[in-house]
Structure 1
Amino acid sequence: IYTFNVTDNATKNEIKKAIKLIYGVTPLRVSTTKITSKTVVRRGIIGTKKGGKKAVVYLKKGDKIAIA
Structure 2
Amino acid sequence: MIDYTRPNWPPSQRNSAAPPRSHSPTSAKGGIVLIVSPFASITALALVTGWWLIVLGVMEAIHAVQMRRATN
TM range (shorter): under 0.3
Please, what TM-score do these two structures have when normalized by structure 1? 0.24
Please, what TM-score do these two structures have when normalized by structure 2? 0.23
**Greater share of helix:** 2
